[in-house]
Amino acid sequence: MKQTKRIFATVATLLLFTAPAWGDLQSNWDPTTSGPFYTGTAETVPPGSFFVETYWFDQYQSALGTRTETFPFRFDIGLLDGIDVSGLIPYEYTLQESKIGWVHGEGIGDAQFWVKKELVKASDRWPALSTELILKLPSGNASNFKSDLFGADQTGFGTTDVGVSLLARKRFEPFEIYGQVTYTVASEAAVSPGYVTSNGVALTQGGEIAPGDTITYSAAFEHVLNEANSLGYLVEIYGMYSRGLNMFRGPTDNKWSFLDWAPEIEVNSSKNVSWGTGFTMPIYESNYPSAVTAMLTVTYSYSGPEGHR
């Protein structure tokens, strides 16, 4: 087990901070479209450039009788050639069906931060490739202090997560293909009775939990129909798989998985502002509650001296 931990840490460090960005240093960053909702973009933000993005996710899980309105705010800032830093802070408004009707809670969710390192510059031959080191903090409420809300005040999962991603994007105008895979390890956490796990299991006793490692994967196909206003559509798939095994604690006896697909459309309203909307629908679930999610995003980008369109 210790050897596995050392390998994980070593690989992540080497990929992020010692791997060169092959090819020239000219930036290929081009934030003219909103892009996919779940799949990241392999290109990094050039130094002096940034973008901020707000989202709205409306997720309904009929089997659990829950509805969650999530309003994340994201920023991405270019630090060095081939390296950028990002953060995402969500606000959650949750509804839960109970014996007294619908009850609701609200608050800050789990914040996420990551550093991206570009490995391969996009070219006619090669797709852009990059890697990310991810840190997710338990800033949300996972303790369910208000028992009269039946867990509706839960806005986080109570764990500190670390992960590493590999991202790719290939352009062949007017089309683009995106891909991302992420491996995440979560810490153990002490939770109160009523805590709901990632796959919708309510723990009536509370206590210590050790979530299993997860593999998240997504891909998207994008077609820009009108270059003038970046009007286009995307088809995206998004899935997760929990191994039922925690790298630090061993077996968790809690395997689950799901796969969703999402049709999306996008358009620019100005040189710097783009919009996107879509919704996810389930393809399959295994030990995971079915969910349908409506989505909206607005992106503002600023291209500094080294950025270009």
Average pLDDT of the residues in 19-43:
69
Q: Mean per-residue pLDDT for 161-186?
A: 95
Mean pLDDT of 259-266: 98
Q: What is the mean pLDDT of the chain?
A: 86
- Residues ≥6 apart with Cβ < 8 Å to 142: 154, 155, 156, 157, 158, 189, 191, 195
pLDDT, tens digit, for every residue of 126-144? Answer: 999 999 999 999 999 888 7
Q: Which of 126, 124, 161, 155 is nearest to 142 (CA)?
A: 155
Closest C-alpha to 43, from 135, 120, 126, 133: 120
Q: Is residue 307 a part of any domain in this protein?
A: no
pLDDT at 143: 80
| Percentage of the chain exceeding pLDDT 90 | 58
Task: For residue 308, tell me if it sits in a domain.
Answer: no
Sequence-separated (6 or more) residues with CB below 8 Å from residue 238: 38, 39, 216, 217, 218, 259, 260, 261, 262, 280
User: When comparing pLDDT for 103 and 23, which is higher?
Assistant: 103
CATH of the domain at 170: 2.40.160.40
Q: State whether residue 22 is helix, strand or coil.
A: strand
Residue 227 scores a pLDDT above 90:
no
Residue 9 phi/psi, 5-degree rounding, is -65, -40
Residue 288 lies in a domain: yes
pTM of the complete model: 0.86
**Domains in the chain: how many in total?**
1
- Structural domain of 176: 2-302
Work out the pLDDT band at 27, boundaries 50, 70, 90.
Answer: very low
User: Residue 65 domain-assigned?
Assistant: yes
Q: What was the pLDDT predicted at 133?
A: 98
